[in-house]
Every structure is written in structure tokens, then in C-alpha cells.
Amino acid sequence: MKRILNTALVLICLSSVAQSQNAYKLISMIRGDIADFAVDNLDNVYVLTSTDQLKKYNASGDSVAVFNNVKKFGKISTIDVSNPLKVLLYYKDFATVVVLDRLLATRNTIDLRRQNIFQVNAIGQSYDNNIWLYDEGDSKLKKIDDDGKLLMETPDFRLLFNEAPAIRNICDQEGFVYLYDPNQSVFVFDYYGALRNKILISGWQDFKVAGKFIFGINNDTLHRYEINTFRIDDEKLPGPLKNSLKVNFTSSRLYALKKDLLEIYTLR
């Protein structure tokens, strides 16, 4: 029921943004060196600086934690905050996943190379507190635990598709795993590794799956795809949100990244 309510709130918020720039009220801003950011379902904000320092702000805008171990594994490629109690940082150059707790203290480190996994561009948290990843070397979706142990894997994607996808996003939602290749489509798998669907969506940025909907941005246009009905709604973003470097959503807020500035909006 909670997921259903959250999804409904997301839809109300997005619809309101599309209808009028006055639908949202700017409630706060985070200024400074901001290269990227992520938000969890509690409206905590995780800001990544150009030097790969990770800062966590609570929903009130107060700084609550900092991760400073930024030199050991190079540049952070992916931040996954699907579970606020377990933050995943992925370092592509070293094929390493660092697992943090809610205060950004290191819980453990997973060297994927020790599992003979060397080419990974996308990771994501699984419903059962494990980790999904797409191994481009084997062309397989795999699930591992916090020790790096392989728990399951799909068949070779080169046997399933004419062209092996280049996966950039992995989202675990409502009993399915969504893999997004911006140049091809969205590939939908069940938790047993069986392909269930292929959704012809491509070219979207800020890709996100929330409940039964898929969201994305392209050329100042907000796209919303309803999974059950196959319907796509396209709406132009209002003036203050156009030309944002990145946009993200939660059940009650919208986040827009500008140069050295993160704007946080709420529904009036």
C-alpha cells in the first residue's frame, strides 16, 4: 500500500509540474561544487563534488554525513541510494563496489575482479538487499551478495538479442528488474533471470522507474510511460526547470541541478 501511495504522489507532483511552473514552490537550495547528486525515498540528498567527496543532507537541508575516502578507487561512476540504510558507490575503473551505512561509513568493499568480473557499467540494489550488476564481459545480468558471491545470473544476452545491449541503469521495482540501454530499449527481467518484456524507450536521460511508471527527460520534455497500458505522456518542463543538468523526483519533491546549485521544489 505504501508503494502505491508513493507512486500516486509522484504522479500528482509530475503532472502539476507539467501544467504550470507555479505548481512547485522552491523551498531550498544547496550551493557549491556539485558534480552529481542522488536522492532516496526519505528525501535525503547525496551530493557528489568534482573531487568525489560525498555529502549527505537530510530532508531539512542539514548536513548529516560526509564520505571522504575519495582517493583510493578513483572516480565514482554510480551512486545507488535505493535503500537509505545501504548506499552503494561503484568505481568503474577499479571494478569495485563500496558499501556505506546511513552515516556514510564504509561497511565493506567488493572487488569484482576477484569474481572474474571486469566490465561493469551499471549496478543497482536488489529487493532482497543484494546487488544487481550487468557483466558486459559475459553479457549477463548477475546478482551478488555483499561478499561478492554470485547468487544468480541470466543466460548470455548475445543469445537473447541480435545485439548485446550497453546497459547504463538497473532498477529493481515491483517484482521486476529494469535494464536500460539509452541507445536501444528497456529490458525487463523477473527475479529468476527470465526476460519478460522489451520496452522501446531510448534517448531518455535521468531514467527512473517508480512503481508502474517509467520517467525520463529529453530536450526539456518530461516523459512518463505507463507500464501496464503502454501509454506515454510527454509534457514540457516549466521555465525554471528547463536546461537543468539533471532532474530527479521523489514522492513529494522535485530536484533540479544547475551549475554549482541544486534547487529543491515541493508542491504548493
Contact predicate 242/257, CB 8 Å:
no
Q: Name the residue ranges covered by the structural domains of the chain.
A: 2-267
pLDDT tens-digit readout, 104-132? 999 999 999 999 999 999 999 999 999 99
What pLDDT shows up at residue 12? 42
Whether residue 166 has pLDDT greater than 90: yes
CATH architecture of 2-267: 6 Propeller (2.120)
What pLDDT shows up at residue 83? 93
Q: Are strands 176-180 and 186-190 parallel, antiparallel or unpaired?
A: antiparallel
Mean pLDDT, rounded, of the chain:
88
What pLDDT shows up at residue 252? 78
pLDDT tens-digit readout, 27-68? 999 999 999 999 998 999 999 999 989 999 999 999 999 998
User: Among 18-27, 56-65, 227-236, where is mean pLDDT lowest?
Assistant: 18-27
What pLDDT shows up at residue 242? 83
pTM for the predicted model, two decimal places: 0.86
Give φ, ψ of 132 to 5 degrees: -90, 145
211 or 166, higher pLDDT: 166
178 or 213, higher pLDDT: 178
Question: How many residues comprise the chain?
Answer: 268
Name which of 154, 167, 165 is nearest 194 in CA terms.
Answer: 154
Whether residue 268 has pLDDT greater than 60: no
pLDDT tens-digit readout, 133-146? 999 999 999 999 99
Give me the mean pLDDT over the 180-199 stretch: 95
Contact predicate 241/247, CB 8 Å:
yes
CA distance 84 to 2: 16
Give me the mean pLDDT over the 73-77 stretch: 89
pLDDT tens-digit readout, 245-258? 999 988 778 899 99
List the beta bridge partners of residue 100: 87, 106
Per-residue 3-state assignment (H helix, E strand, C coil) for the chain? CHHHHHHHHHHHHHHHHHHCHHHEEEEEEEECCCCEEEECCCCCEEEECCCCCEEEECCCCCEEEEECCCCCCCCCCEEEEEECCEEEEEEHHHCEEEEECCCCCEEEEEEHHHHCCCCEEEEEECCCCCEEEEECCCCEEEEECCCCCEEEECCCHHHHCCCCCCCCEEEEECCEEEEECCCCCEEEEECCCCEEEEECCCCCEEEEEECCEEEEEECCEEEEEECCCCEEEEEECCHHHCCCCEEEECCCEEEEEECCEEEEEEEC
Whether residue 3 has pLDDT greater than 90: no
Whether residue 75 has pLDDT greater than 50: yes
What pLDDT shows up at residue 90? 96
CA distance 60 to 66: 16
Whether residue 7 has pLDDT greater than 60: no
What pLDDT shows up at residue 235? 81
Whether residue 20 has pLDDT greater than 80: no
What pLDDT shows up at residue 204? 95
Give me the mean pLDDT over the 136-163 stretch: 94
